[in-house]
Structure 1
Amino acid sequence: MYVVQQDGDSDLINVAIDGPAGAGKSTVARMVAAQLGYVYVDTGSMYRAVTLGAQRQGLAADDEERLTQFMKSLDIVLKPGANGQFVYMNGEDVTSLIRTREVTGAVSHYAASGIVREVLGVMQRNMALRKGIVMDGRDIGTHVLPDAELKVFLTASVKERALRRFKELGQEAVVTLQQLQEEIAERDRLDEQRELAPLLKASDAIELDSSDMTIDEVVDAIVKMSRTKLAEAK
């Protein structure tokens, strides 16, 4: 599915952006990649695609045997678009379908599956072999790309993350701000307490609290860090 080149480019680095749900990782990572001229990889969308596909087939998150067979037949392709990435699952554009509340509420459970993380982890590492990747997720710096030249742990308060999501939903919101806060707090708990590849800040990651920062300020900060790391790597 992916073209892999074994020899990396010494003029490029890999950037890993981790953090809890709703911290703005995807938006920030996409903008950082655009400014650096790098490729953006949204790992969260890959886990969402798995969740959608598994739900369609009635597969429970703890049914490792059936999930293993399902993962063997799964093809996920990420394609860049003007406003983000398009996500294709077995040839179907599922970009909008993976953002429903049903998928959002279940994705942490499927992301805790060993076989799911193993298969997607291989895909993600292959994408990063050539360097010049900005990848965001929950365990990129600690598990997927532990050798990434720059690791950023992007966070924000639960209240701020819920407020951002509430504003994104606008008139389409079918939940209250309080419900969103509770859902985000629960996702944090699941991500932090899962046995396999839990949400952790890498020991060499730079923590960036975006609670009182604009998106542009966050992007500028990470782009500067990236250019400093690139200069150091030469």
Structure 2
Amino acid sequence: MKKKPSTIAIDGPAASGKSTIAEKLARELGYLFFDTGVMYRAVTLAALRRLGTVEDETAVSQLAAEVDIDITPPSKEDGRKYDVLLDGEDVTWEIRSREVEASVSQVSAYPGVRKAMTDQQRRIGLRGHCVMVGRDIGTVVLPEADLKIYLVASPEERARRRHQENLQRGLASDYSAILQAMIRRDQIDSTRQVAPLKPAEDAHIIDTDGLSIEEVLGRVRSLLEDCARAETDLNG
């Protein structure tokens, strides 16, 4: 019997499709879907609420080490893919606010914040049977993942996707503003000193421009089969 990879890391820039692909893949495999980015959003929300700013790196890092963030299966049928709990409070939708969106890259670049979140993410990932999504899973959080995938797409395509998501949720949306914010975020994420956004050396890169969700999933399934076949050959 072929053995499926137990830990799967899916990385890539914002709106590259990684969360959508990971959620569907996790459901197919019966694995935990863990979008690690929501943890940084939760810390950002906590900082905005309790500190009134994200500019004080020391204070934000201290807060990150103190707050209790948990990710659990969805408790409501309102479109959510999981519950995000901040010290026991359901903040699943609050972490998607414009204020959090504008500040999360800065917060996630703080070394103290990344360390606090990485430690917790590793504990979850190392349990196995997990599809982890983020920007540094394959390079920092779970470098020993059985399969590493890195999704890419042009800024224009990613901004279009985010714009459509907003419209579908009934939110006001400005494509040009989203595109500019996306480009700024890419710059911050790829040039930060700690855990910059980049594919792991052994990651499989998939360009999702022009591909449907099912076409991307098809490529991922092929990688799963290749990984399982290699494991079978290795073990005789």
Alignment TM-score, normalising by the size of structure 1: 0.90
> Distance between the aligned counterparts of 2:183 and 2:32, measured in 1?
30
Aligned positions of 1:39-188 closer than 5 A: 39-58=32-51, 60-81=53-74, 83-170=80-167, 172-188=170-186
Q: Any unmatched runs of 5+ in structure 2?
A: none
Which AA in structure 1 matches 2:25?
V
Give 1:190 deviation, angstroms: 0.6
> Distance between the aligned counterparts of 2:36 and 2:209, measured in 1?
23
Q: Hey, which bits of structure 1, 4+ residues long, moved more than 4 A?
A: none
Q: Deviations over 1:32-80 (max 9, x none)?
A: 1111111111101111001000111125445243224312321111112
> Distance between the aligned counterparts of 1:12 and 1:141, measured in 2?
14
Contact 1:59-1:67 within 8 A present in 2 as well = no
> Distance between the aligned counterparts of 1:222 and 1:212, measured in 2?
16
**Number of positions where the alignment pairs a residue of Structure 1 with one of Structure 2:** 225
> Distance between the aligned counterparts of 1:69 and 1:18, measured in 2?
27
> Distance between the aligned counterparts of 2:191 and 2:164, measured in 1?
28
> Distance between the aligned counterparts of 1:201 and 1:121, measured in 2?
17
Contact 1:61-1:113 within 8 A present in 2 as well = no
Residue equivalent to 1:3: none
> Distance between the aligned counterparts of 1:63 and 1:166, measured in 2?
31
Contact 2:5-2:224 within 8 A present in 1 as well = no
Residue equivalent to 1:232: 230
Contact 1:166-1:173 within 8 A present in 2 as well = no
Which AA in structure 1 matches 2:166?
L
Q: Any unmatched runs of 5+ in structure 1?
A: 1-9
1:38 aligns with 2:31: yes
| Percent of matched pairs sharing the same residue | 40
Larger deviation: 51-60 or 124-133?
51-60
Q: Deviations over 1:11-41 (max 9, x none)?
A: 6521111100111111111111111111111
